[in-house]
Every structure is written in C-alpha cells, then in structure tokens.
Amino acid sequence: MVTFNLSYTAPINPSDASPTLTLPQVWAGLQRKVRRAQDFVPIIEECNVLSEEKSQETGNLTVIREVRFAAGKEPNSASGGGLVKETCVHYPPCRVDFEQPDGSNISNIVSEGPDGELFMTYAFEWRYPGVEKGSEEAKKLEERSWKTAKVAVHGSIDTIRRLVKDGEL
C-alpha cells in the first residue's frame, strides 16, 4: 500500500476577486459542501446525508454521508465508482475533516494570514491499497493527487464565491 500526504493552499481573496469573501461566508460554503458535495467537486455525482449528530461534549457536528464518485475519476482505487460512506466532522469556523472507510482523510481548512487575509488549504492523506510504493502506478497516482488537490481548492473557492454572488450564501 502507498499513502500520499500532501496539501495545497490558495488565497481566498486575490486582488482580482469579487466579491471579497468573509470567514462566515466561507464557513457557510464548507458546511454546504458537506451536504451538496456534487456542487463543489466535479468528480462527485451524488451526495446523500445519512445522519447528523452534534457532540454534547464539544458541540462539533458529525455528518455521515454517502458520495458517488464518477467511474474512473475516484480519488483512490478503493472507491471504484460506487457509493463511499464518509464521516464529516465540523470544527467551526475553520475546518471540516472527511474520513473515508479505507483510512483516507481530507481536511478543508480556512486560515488567516498576518494581515487578516484568508487562505484555504486542503490537506490530503490518500491511501491506495494494492499499489506498491515507488511503482509507475504510484508515480501516476501521486501526480494525479497533486492536480486533484489544486482543482479542489480553487473549485471550492470559486463555487463559494458564485453562491455568494447568487445570494445563496
């Protein structure tokens, strides 16, 4: 098995972006992404929330959902185009963690820079059972993982901005 740990960060409000997004808007967007993943992630075709539970101890919301990745587009070989159950834990107002059954984890993180600027980082731990470390397949998967990370961050920011423009957030 091979595991790729990688992260990608982008500014949420570059100088040419309009409208300027606030932390509450970005947080609302990430909450929506948990329930409507197909609006944010082009390789997800379907998203169904199975349950929601708020922790009495921490107040964090945990959402169990099933997502269907487009055949041949799934982020790891374990999903195979079928339904994948994910556990999504909210850490307001800056992080949502997505855990998949094979142990793969994705964190969507909003952070603030020294001058108050906002950044979005996605940190990935993608596991590929049955893939040998250092193999040609592993090299191709790592390259694809980096591309996916960049598209995911920019796509989420763009979607949140569009939803704000359309008055949906």
Q: Summarize pLDDT for 108-152 with one digit per residue, the tens.
A: 999 999 999 999 999 999 998 889 999 999 999 999 889 988 999
Q: What is the average pLDDT score of the chain?
A: 91
pTM: 0.88
- For the chain, the domains span 2-165
**Residue 12, both tokens:** 């949420």
Q: Which CATH superfamily is domain 2-165 in?
A: START domain (3.30.530.20)
Q: Summarize pLDDT for 9-58 with one digit per residue, the tens.
A: 999 999 999 999 999 999 999 999 999 999 998 888 999 999 999 999 99
Cα torsion 43, 103, 133, 146 to 10°: value is 40
Q: Summarize pLDDT for 75-95 with one digit per residue, the tens.
A: 554 445 678 999 999 999 999
- Residues ≥6 apart with Cβ < 8 Å to 32: 39, 40, 163, 169
167, 88, 72, 75: which is closest to 128 by C-alpha?
Answer: 75
Residue 48 and residue 85: Cα distance in Å, rounded? 9
